[in-house]
Amino acid sequence: MFTLNQFPLPYASDALVPYISQETLDLHHGKHVATYINNLNNLIKDTKYESVSLNQIIQDSAKNNDQKIFNNSAQIFNHQFFFNGMCNGCDAKIPDEIIKKFGSAENFKKQFKDSATALFGSGYTWLVKDGEDIKIINMPNADTPIVHGLKPLLTLDVWEHAYYVDYRNRRADFVDAFLDNLVNWDFVAENLK
Ligand code: FE
């Protein structure tokens, strides 16, 4: 059994105001993530998945094509990763490795924004390490880098539930708010190690 308490927000639900409202974070964490946890608990009850870690459930369900179990378990991981990658006013410095790869902070932002606004439907834009390379990739729905041999560094949830209360259909404005104000570069630097 998993519980929401095992996957807490790393800050208060009003900590990202004015870029992400308390209402959005309360819904996103308190309702959406809670639902994925509840669904997963029901799906794995009395199965081989019941006694293994969340990461193992994600890997095994991907291999076995257990789509519902994969979707709900991966969404728990993806959301935790998304929330942990944000902070408001934490003033961390963009890592040198990112500058080196993309040429400048501005160029990184442009490429990430182009990718996030081009993603059709629901999904995530990820910054990942692929071997020694660093890449920006889009993944649809609940798909996650950890089942493709990629190391996640940062992600932006661009499902409509992530921004519709605050930005309506203006996904590009949400992406700008994330890139300009919310990226926790210390978290990215930790993941680069
Ligand atoms: Fe979400």
Query: Separation of 24 CA from ligand 1 center, angstroms?
Result: 10
| Rounded Cα–Cα distance for residues 130 and 98 (Å) | 13
pLDDT tens per residue, range 163-185: 999 999 999 999 999 999 999 99
pLDDT band at 122 (very low <50, low <70, confident <90, very high): very high
pTM of the full structure: 0.98
Cβ–Cβ < 8 Å for 153, 191: yes
Query: Separation of 19 CA from ligand 1 center, angstroms?
Result: 16
From first CA to last CA, the distance across the chain in angstroms is 31
- For residues 6-30, average pLDDT: 98
Query: Separation of 103 CA from ligand 1 center, angstroms?
Result: 30
Query: Separation of 88 CA from ligand 1 center, angstroms?
Result: 19
Residues in Cβ contact with 6 at an 8 Å cutoff, skipping those fewer than 6 apart: none
Ligand 1 (ion): residues with CB under 5 Å are 157, 159, 162
